[in-house]
Amino acid sequence: MSESTVRRWRDELITLLAAQAPRLDRALKKVTNQGGEVVLIDGTLIATMRQTGKADRRNYSGKHHRHGLHFLALTDERGRLIWISAARPGPYP
């Protein structure tokens, strides 16, 4: 299977999942309506390959000393995923 085919499938899957994902405000409202009082938020950097040109610096995280994309995740007190952010370039915005 070619690399371009895998990339295309990955991009299509991300688009499909993003369309189904709740917005943060709706996710928090759902937690409140279900009687939840505690949510945990954490972030992580997913390493990516270095890019060329101006895009190279945008995805570099000085804290982690590597290129990548940041994600934030919101879970309930039992660790069940409630919400996950869209990918952001390396350094926190």
Task: Check if the beta carbon of residue 38 is closer than 8 Å to that of residue 16.
Answer: no
Q: Residue 53: CA atoms inside 13 Å, Cβ hemisphere, count? A: 1
72 vs 53, more confident: 72
Bridging pattern class, strands 66-76 and 81-84: antiparallel
List, in sequence order, every beta strand (DSSP E) within the chain. Answer: 39-47, 60-61, 66-76, 81-84, 88-89
Q: Look at residue 82 and give its three-state secondary structure.
A: strand
Joined together, the tokens standing for residue 3 give 């690399």
Span 3-44, pLDDT tens digits = 888 888 888 877 777 676 678 888 888 888 888 788 888 887
CA distance 14 to 87: 11
Q: What percent of the chain has pLDDT over 70?
A: 74
57 vs 63, more confident: 63
